[in-house]
Structure 1
Amino acid sequence: MAVPHPAQLFDGQSATSHDVKVEVRSDGLVVTGPAGQSRRWTFSGLEAASPVRPGETLRLKHTSEPNARLNLPPGLAADQVLEQASHVAGGFNPGKALKFTAIVITGLALFFAVGYAMLNIAPQRIAAMLPAEWRDKLADHTENAFIKDARQCDNPAGKHALAALAGRVAAASSETPDFSVRVFDMPFVNAFALPGGRIVLTGRLIKQADSPEEVAGVIAHELGHTAHLHPEASLVRNIGLQLLISLGTGGSGGDTLGSVAGLLTMLQYSRDAEREADDYAVTILTEGAIDPKGLRHFFEKLSKKEWSIATGKWKDLSSMLSTHPGTGERVEFIKPLPPGEARGVIPDYQWKALKKICS
């Protein structure tokens, strides 16, 4: 049977102290007043009202009565309380720990839920808020991951022809975003819009193209991805804000952006995004009097898988098709200009030079 010990209680309703008896039981304290009224304070709800020091009065409060104070003089009762409720002296409090854990878990769940929603529902809005400096650094990381040791195709005449062709596309609209185009000698057919307005064409694509209108159409299509911030939005969606912040502020993204396969996965666009890029391409090609039939012909070859790649690794344009889904179903959307409305993209001699840009 628990032995009552004398103590003083301040009930928080008046400044007067009350002489009480305290019993230390297995689950907490029973505090009995002079009139026989009692209250129970569980150990889990006990807190120190002032720093606990050996040989001094133990001043307690309880979560059930935050304004009340219980003063236990040094002795057996105080020692028993500190033994049963070690958290009072700064030890572990199971009740508080459980409550804190629940709060943390709930907070993390809400954080990740909101983060997931933002990354998947509004990635383009987030991408639009990225500083230009971050986009440039993201472009450096993604371009380095994609290009690796590939040689940039820099035949002078070919580069001049590419600049002329890109200039024709850029001049088609006053709202064309800033962009750059480079060609790299890579053993597969593909084109990419990277963050920061960088467009990359593979030398194999240039080699397999049948006309400057095809290349102009591809550039216009990739420019559509650039205008709609699809590359940045894709990175937001796939690698999240934390890594974007790390990359944008100078951190290393090598583990995430360390392979062509990984980058291909990140730059896969939805069919809706591809249609947006198609709409943009057809609009600026039409405004610039560049016949969209070149882009249509390019997509027709993709959908029919007419080309083959010498390495065998990228047969049937698997690289291009993997990053540009639904190509076949979009061909019918692209209509050629009426006879007499289209103008040449670049002269024939420049087209021949562009075809040799990687030589």
Structure 2
Amino acid sequence: MIAAEDGAVLAEWPLASLQLAGKAAAPVRLRSGQGDARLALDGPAALAGLRAAGAPLRPPEAGSGRTILIWTVGLAAVFAAVLLLLPRLSASIATLVPVEDEVSLGDSVADSIELMLRHPAACTGADGRAAVEALVRRLAAGRESPYRFRVEVLDSEVPNALAAPGGRILMFRGLIDRMQGPDEFAGVLAHEMGHVLHRHGLQGIIRQQGLSILALLTGGSDLSRLGQAGSELGALSYSRGFEREADEAALKLLAGAGLRRDGLSTLFHRLAKDAGGGPAFLATHPPLEERALLATPDTAGSPAMSEAEWQAVKAMCG
């Protein structure tokens, strides 16, 4: 069959490939099995000659449109169900991720956050660095963990601290400047270590990047790319349940190290009253009145650092 207009050949379709693209009523529409083009005829009478010439003119398969609709709705329902269940399943999904992959993901997250902050300089004062590392070892001692905690102090005015998946913790000068003693530093550090131990960062990214996780599980993505896709600060904005777990872990770490446990409480309450420093750090935390563990702090224990060590930490950024 040849379709022409004003003497110009538009298409050549073998008769055996012709199919009805709709009902056999005016206007009659034909299609070829060789493409998606359609041809409209004047009416049913035009079909007689084509059938006489041997064109099969099979009608479209009944229910094909309905089948496509069912599949579309079904897939949408599956994706919706998975996304709704992800928050509840995030902890279970997180256990399926090997620690080495979580560490790689965490590095991507931390690098992306530093990029967002225009690469603040790392504070490398040797005495302060040694004091921080000694405190990390003291808090982690006696606690079985697959993670190696890596604490970076960054020269940024952002009054915050963040724990990326896999053990990398970012402490910003803007928060340290608002601290009044090493016990407050130890409280924040222990709190962020609690997030790492409970894999909150990984769970947060799983919750935020539901569709990417689906692609990963079906072989269509790469874990390291999730760090780029889910590395916004929102990925590390934990739920209130996560914050309470991190509080509990912090108090256990401090008690296990024989350190005072009132630093986190005094810092949080002071920042809550400080309009310049409170909101940025406390924005992702539940209200202080809901954090019973901070209401009655335990002052027993030794200081987290000597005064000389604390001054070295505060001077790390120069």
1:104 partnered with 2:104 = no
1:326 partnered with 2:296 = no
1:286 partnered with 2:286 = no
Q: Which residue pairs with 1:187 in the alignment?
A: 157
Q: What's the CA shift for 1:123?
A: 0.9
C-alpha spacing 1:78/1:127, structure 2 compared with 1 (3 Å): farther
Q: What's the CA shift for 1:150?
A: 1.0
1:224 partnered with 2:183 = no
How large is the RMSD of aligned CA atoms in angstroms? 2.9
User: What SS class does the counterpart of residue 195 from structure 1 fall into?
Assistant: coil
Larger Rg: 1
Q: Is the 8 A contact 2:90 2:203 kept in 1?
A: yes
Aligned mate of 2:184, from 214, 218, 240: 214
Q: Which residue pairs with 2:91 in the alignment?
A: 124
Q: Which residue pairs with 1:45 in the alignment?
A: none
C-alpha spacing 1:168/1:78, structure 2 compared with 1 (3 Å): farther
Q: Is the 8 A contact 2:182 2:304 kept in 1?
A: yes
C-alpha spacing 1:163/1:96, structure 2 compared with 1 (3 Å): same
Q: What's the CA shift for 1:103?
A: 3.6
Whole-Å Cα distance in 1 between the matches of residues 166 and 235 of structure 2? Answer: 16
**TM-score, normalization: structure 2?**
0.74
Letter in 2 for 1:268: S
Letter in 2 for 1:228: H
Whole-Å Cα distance in 2 between the matches of residues 82 and 142 of structure 1? Answer: 60
Ranked by relative contact order (alpha carbons within 8 Å, sequence separation 6 or more), the top structure is: 2
Q: Is the 8 A contact 2:187 2:263 kept in 1?
A: yes
Q: Which residue pairs with 1:269 in the alignment?
A: 238
Runs of 5+ unmatched residues, structure 2: 1-21, 25-48
1:162 partnered with 2:132 = yes
Q: Which residue pairs with 1:298 in the alignment?
A: 267
1:60-81 Cα offsets, whole Å, 9 max, x none, are xxxxxxxxxxxxxxx9867687
Q: Which residue pairs with 1:343 in the alignment?
A: 302
User: What SS class does the counterpart of residue 151 from structure 1 fall into?
Assistant: coil
User: What SS class does the counterpart of residue 141 from structure 1 fall into?
Assistant: helix
1:43-69 Cα offsets, whole Å, 9 max, x none, are xxxxxxxxxxxxxxxxxxxxxxxxxxx
Whole-Å Cα distance in 1 between the matches of residues 221 and 282 of structure 2? Answer: 28
Whole-Å Cα distance in 2 between the matches of residues 213 and 222 of structure 1? Answer: 14
Q: What's the CA shift for 1:252?
A: 7.3
Whole-Å Cα distance in 2 between the matches of residues 78 and 127 of structure 1? Answer: 66
Number of matched residues? 266
User: What SS class does the counterpart of residue 151 from structure 2 fall into?
Assistant: strand
User: What SS class does the counterpart of residue 301 from structure 1 fall into?
Assistant: helix
Percent identity between matched residues is 32
Runs of 5+ unmatched residues, structure 1: 1-25, 29-74, 87-92, 258-262, 309-314
Q: How does 1:26-37 map to 2 (within 5 A)?
A: none
User: What SS class does the counterpart of residue 121 from structure 1 fall into?
Assistant: helix
